[in-house]
Structure 1
């Protein structure tokens, strides 16, 4: 399963390079301890047992593995071909109405949580095999679960609520800085869980096919549209009409991309020629080019919209991806569009992301991989974290 790791691979690398982290890091590196507590509260209203997993990369050694409840790191053993069972890395989670506290080490990874059953993880010679529930034969297909992504390093903590791969379990994340107020994100509006699935069912064009149910008919999740396209649940041409209109518009007009909010004079200018959108810098030099993207490239922000961790193509691609998913490229030739009141208004858009944002209490979500363009993502950060929070919210 292709996993979109926003924090370590995208946010940290690009934002650091652009000089954007300094504003959020108010303390010296030495202020961040080796571990910080993560308080996990279960307000779900469900009686199922909960299982917690803290998996990722040890930032001190570069090894992949898991952390136990005390924050002690364990490297994965060698895998096999076919994949071999991974060690049981589960931590018993809190029952309904309860909470537990575990320790988070300096990691870049994920905190998984499942209801009712433990997740199945396996190891190949290349590392950990993570759940791929778009595959009907995946052993986790009928388990209710989700995850939060985080990075804890010498510059602080970044932790998010993500729906990039699927919308499943309602939850929120938070961080309390030393001597400061807790910052939280990810809570749904009242009724938001059911409202999202009802809205997706009512969206024409195959969007209801993204919903997966358990054998007993209960809702498990909605897959992100990339996996809908890849499995045939969503038409492969879902975004084609919008792309064609973008291509027509910028064959005779210029698309201006200003990818760094703190560098307003760094601009790139896009024009379409045939099947290619070429971008030039202020000196008129061509710096990168993009072929006409298909729906999978747009929903996944990859392939024809690949975004390497550099300072030119990656930032331009991130901006284009956001503009396509939010359908703002036709209404605003200056990107990114800062006004979210104009997002998702075209009939051809990422309706999955649109409906998720509509149900979020603060309007923020990770509805697609680069939803952080313009800071519309469900992410909290602090350079001097004291405690992190993960709250399992009610389904009703």
Structure 2
């Protein structure tokens, strides 16, 4: 599942909560048959089709699900817990795995983790350990030691119920890659791949979007494009105006002061509905009995982009599902055109002039139209995710920068 909490975190300590992929992890537990089918590790083939000559470094970082310990896995899938960090972060052990050269591939083993597979070009990433866990790159901070490194990551969970593996643009769009898996029948499914020309197409489109969106693009001093920050990070870095979504939010607030927004958060439970009306600075949601079950203050742009703060989504059965539906509606700008949410048809997404243009443009450049442009892009199954309950092989493929 996409994260039920915001993924924009600086510590890897909460990774088990923030990188769980696929709603299946909310079920009570796997059946004995499925449990027996998933081995302790599965192979992941890492292929380099980037066209770049840089040395690639690969990292497999996360939480060991059997113990809850945080650490890293080597190429054989062996778990290594992180040592204790410090109040002043200290260097972490070198967890890098030398990746394949351009045109080559290698196979490592994935253990039962909730984690991230980082990869970097030309330089190793800098990781440090604080008292709360591993400090992740936070490149919206100009002083972050990874600011000038070209890197990206995938997220996955492998457990007794199978594998969930996704590409992600929740934090940034950077080095292109695709993810995939092999099913028991030998078929391979992939996602996350850009269209031919999609890499340059995305950055050119973002640069051409007025209103500060061009400033999300980060480059090195030599002109190398490193990434485009997600809009929440752009607000944090001062690149994007903090009020960029306010006009749309204001119009939503006005509309639902005199009409009702109906949220049906579970596709498999169409009878579960919540009804939202604005009163003053609060949108109250009632159940079928008319009882107020949760309330939201008027969100700001950062809350919308991050699906957190005033749109917090706890992992419960009421507020969280309503919040993730609202988050998707705000980012896709469907709340004014459809009072029945979620709106799951992409034909109506991003049509307002005030919208998440970053998410709009990355979806437009994906070969299958799927991406994780924001944390709850899985509402309506528009996320770049592959899953199988009995995976035989996983894949990460570094794609050309075209």
After TM superposition, the score normalised by the length of structure 1 is 0.96
Give the match for residue 263 of structure 1. Answer: 269
> Paired residue for 1:2, among 2, 9, 33?
9
**Deviations, residues 151-184 of structure 1 (Å, cap 9, x unaligned):** 0000000000000000001000001122241111
Give the match for residue 373 of structure 2. Answer: 367
Give the match for residue 117 of structure 1. Answer: 123
Aligned counterparts, 1:187-198, within 5 A: 187-198=193-204
Contact 2:182 2:393 in 1 (8 A): yes
- Is the partner of 2:228 in helix, strand or coil? strand
Give the match for residue 176 of structure 2. Answer: 170
Q: 2: distance between equivalents of 1:65 and 1:298?
A: 32
> Paired residue for 1:202, among 190, 208, 226?
208
Aligned counterparts, 1:1-396, within 5 A: 2=9, 9=18, 15-17=24-26, 28-396=34-402
Report the alpha carbon displacement of residue 82 of structure 1 after superposing the two structures with TM. 1.1
C-alpha change, 1:163 and 1:294, in structure 2 (3 Å) is same
**Deviations, residues 332-368 of structure 1 (Å, cap 9, x unaligned):** 0000102101000000000000000000000000000
- Is the partner of 1:208 in helix, strand or coil? helix
Q: 2: distance between equivalents of 1:162 and 1:237?
A: 25
Contact 1:7 1:158 in 2 (8 A): no
The number of equivalent residue pairs is 393
Runs of 5+ unmatched residues, structure 1: none
**Deviations, residues 20-54 of structure 1 (Å, cap 9, x unaligned):** x98xx995211000000000000000000000000
C-alpha change, 1:16 and 1:82, in structure 2 (3 Å) is closer
Contact 1:7 1:150 in 2 (8 A): no
Q: 2: distance between equivalents of 1:129 and 1:159?
A: 22
**Deviations, residues 104-136 of structure 1 (Å, cap 9, x unaligned):** 000000000000000000001111000000000
- Is the partner of 2:392 in helix, strand or coil? strand
Q: Which runs of 4+ in 1 moved over 6 A?
A: 3-7
C-alpha change, 1:311 and 1:81, in structure 2 (3 Å) is same
- Is the partner of 1:341 in helix, strand or coil? helix
- Is the partner of 2:77 in helix, strand or coil? coil
C-alpha change, 1:7 and 1:316, in structure 2 (3 Å) is farther
Q: 2: distance between equivalents of 1:54 and 1:333?
A: 42
**Deviations, residues 177-232 of structure 1 (Å, cap 9, x unaligned):** 22241111001000000000000000000000000001101100000000111111
- Is the partner of 1:287 in helix, strand or coil? strand
C-alpha change, 1:11 and 1:112, in structure 2 (3 Å) is closer
Deviates more, 1:7-16 or 1:44-53: 7-16
Contact 1:14 1:309 in 2 (8 A): no
Runs of 5+ unmatched residues, structure 2: 1-7
Report the alpha carbon displacement of residue 16 of structure 1 after superposing the two structures with TM. 4.5
- Is the partner of 1:114 in helix, strand or coil? strand
Q: 1: distance between equivalents of 2:322 and 2:16?
A: 18
Q: 2: distance between equivalents of 1:291 and 1:103?
A: 45
After TM superposition, the score normalised by the length of structure 2 is 0.95
Contact 1:27 1:383 in 2 (8 A): no
Q: 2: distance between equivalents of 1:152 and 1:227?
A: 29
C-alpha change, 1:12 and 1:88, in structure 2 (3 Å) is closer
Contact 2:344 2:379 in 1 (8 A): no
- Is the partner of 1:40 in helix, strand or coil? strand
Q: 2: distance between equivalents of 1:169 and 1:246?
A: 36
Calculate the aligned-residue CA RMSD, in Å.
1.8
